[in-house]
Amino acid sequence: MSDDTPTEPQKSGPEIIAEYVRNLPTKPGVYRMFGEDGAVLYVGKARNLKARVSNYAKSGGHNNRIGLMISLTRSMEFVVTSTETEALLLEANLIKKLKPRFNILLRDDKSFPYILIRRDHSAPQLRKHRGARKVKGDYFGPFASVGAVNYTLNTLQKAFMLRTCTDSVYDGRSRPCMLYQIKRCAGPCVDLVTPETYDGLVNQATDFLRGKSNALREDLQDKMQTASDDLDFEAAAKLRDRIKAIAAVTTDQGINPAGVEEADVIAVAQSGGKSCVQVFFFRAGQNWGNQSFFPRHDIDASPCDVITAFIAQFYDDRPAPGLLLLSDLPDDKTLLAEALSLRADRKVSLHKPTRGEKRKLVSQTHHNAREALARRMSESATQTQLLLGVQKVFGLEASPERIEVYDNSHIQGSNALGGMVVAGPDGFEKNHYRKFNMKGDDAATNDDFAMMAAMMRRRFSRMLKEKDDGHPVPDLVLIDGGKGQLSSVLEVMEELGVMDIPVAAIAKGPERDAGKEAFYIPGKPPFKLPQNDPVLYYLQRLRDEAHRFAIGGHRAKRKKALTENPLDGVPGVGPGRKKALLAHFGSAKAVRDAALADLEGVEGISGTMAQRVYDWFQNN
């Protein structure tokens, strides 16, 4: 007997949204719209949640993008906030984390390099820094590139002679290094400068990086004149060299920063439904470089929409400078400025200049944005054709948006490391590259098959764990290896239940000749591509980039292992105790081989600490 009970028709997107509207408060907050598979479609903020979301419950009056988003909506979630500013900050954070399909996304975001003056040592260290600010000290940046950081560091060494060596090198010195000889370091490691004088150099460097270069230069000129009057020509010459070094970095650097001590200049250029956001960084009255960004957005997004989304996401995890000079003002200019000020803990102003030097800066930045976008679109056309070729070669359902390429590197199992590089329509996506350290029970580190399997297990276990949070899923996995590596990877994929991701392997040809590579796909015999095929060249580039990344990480790991001081790992042994041990025994090796009684005889090392050092080396 058949069941003739009529099934209830599926509710439409507007009907689903309307049900939520009935229970929403009239308070500020953030809303998320979810599709059939639970994927986040859109994240938005509202001053009045009920009023804002009710607009989506209407069947008409929307553009194609919004209409499609509403039709795909199957559920929603809401977070009520105290203020609209708090909602804006939460919205930016969720967009960066979840990467919703219908939001404007800052895809090229990355960690920018900074200059750090460490304050957790008696002789503060000058160095490059990237990533979380866990070290106590003063941070200056961002710089657009490592090259810009190196240039400024070089100048700071000449002008202020601060140390750049690591603590282990500093503690092990018994005589000054080459940097002291060429007047790039004051020599605090061997007491060639008093702590008070060195602290003065640190403070001068800090003032310089905070934009007080003119006052600093005048002070040094006065001291140089005094030294000259006192016939101390050697001291006067040193001061003269420092003044010249400061002048070299504060001269014009291409875009005239006159009247701009600290600002980010941001301009948007659009063409063919694509956008480029160009940012120039000015700090301490100096141009610290520029960077291009290419946000992902719908074709009808305006420059105002793009710059609003960019600012909110770009400054989500970094403090904004006091002034943003913009080519287009956001609609929520006041709200955005309030949110940035709250995050930076100081006043941040958004300004669109209409005349003068600041207007010239914005115009020059906009010109750079147009040029970068033209180059990007030209490269993108070629890239699209190559990806269509990859789709055909590997029988993919669509042109791949994300290709992950894997390789590993080791020397007889030591310092084993795996590397993953990512490529897509916009070329190599270096902020998505990943390294996998292989050690302990992670893999048989002298077995390429086991290493590859361990790398895949870690990569795709994490993908399954974080898939609901927007963790990226590859359209193609490419392995550097042959049939054996492919088989080991497929076993892991089957074990994890991710057999829906296409996997292929690229094996080097006979005698490792480029152009004779063999490709392996599950269930098919190996094949080769014609030697003049552009797709073959493209796949070779992907494989070579993975190899470069893996072997570079391996070499860095090996170099670090060679230069590490064995005392660095001993619990409780800081710079002072390390210096005392090295001064007493002459080397870390001698400390390692020392008897307990000898360790107890070191000045500054207690009996308990001596036992700890002795036990550490016996157990390791």
> What is the b/e burial string over 412-444, where b = at least 16 CB atoms within 10 angstroms of the residue's CB?
eeebbbbbbbbbbeeebbeebbbbbebeeebbe
Nearest partner of 461 among 407, 497, 422, 512, judged by Cα? 497
CATH no. for residue 512? 3.30.420.340
Dihedral pair phi/psi, residue 298, rounded to 5°: -75, 160
Residues counted in the chain: 620
Residue 41 maps to a domain = yes
Looking at residue 558, what is its pLDDT?
62
- Say which DSSP state 188 is in: G
Q: Domain for residue 168, yes or no? A: no
Residue 574 has φ and ψ, to the nearest 5°, of -95, -170
**Residue 574 sits in a domain of what CATH number?**
1.10.150.20
Check whether residue 22 and residue 91 sit in a common domain.
yes
* Residue 575 within a domain: yes
pLDDT at 512: 52
Same domain? For 497 and 535 the reply is yes
pLDDT given at position 232: 74
355: CATH? 3.30.420.10
Residues 539 and 441 in one domain: yes
In this structure, the answer to whether residues 415 and 552 fall within a common structural domain is: yes
The pLDDT assigned to 266 comes to 95
Are 326 and 351 spatial neighbours (Cβ–Cβ below 8 Å)? yes
What is the model's pLDDT at position 1?
Answer: 45
In a domain, residue 418? The reply is yes
Distance (Å) of CA 267 to CA 24, 359, 479: 38, 11, 40
Predicted local confidence at residue 256, as pLDDT: 43
Q: Are residues 502 and 597 in the same domain?
A: no
Angle between helix axes 146-160 and 195-209 (nearest 10 degrees) is 140
512 located within any domain: yes
pLDDT in the model for residue 517: 85
552 and 573 housed in the same domain: no
Inside any domain, residue 79: yes
DSSP element (H, E) containing 363: helix 356-394
Residues 592 and 495 in one domain: no
334 residue type, one letter: T
> Is 200 a domain residue?
no
pLDDT value at residue 510: 60
Residue 54 is predicted with a pLDDT of 92
Q: Which residue numbers in the chain have pLDDT < 50?
A: 1-2, 252-256, 413, 441, 443
Domain range for 275 is: 263-375
Q: At a CB cut-off of 8 Å and minimum separation 6, what does 198 contact?
A: 123, 186, 188
| pTM confidence score | 0.62
Does any domain span residue 229?
Answer: no
Regarding whether 554 and 408 lie in a shared domain, the answer is yes
Side chain identity, residue 303:
P
Residues paired with residue 31 on neighbouring β-strands, in sequence order: 44, 78
How many domains does the chain contain in total?
4
Please report the pLDDT score of residue 392 as a whole number.
Answer: 93
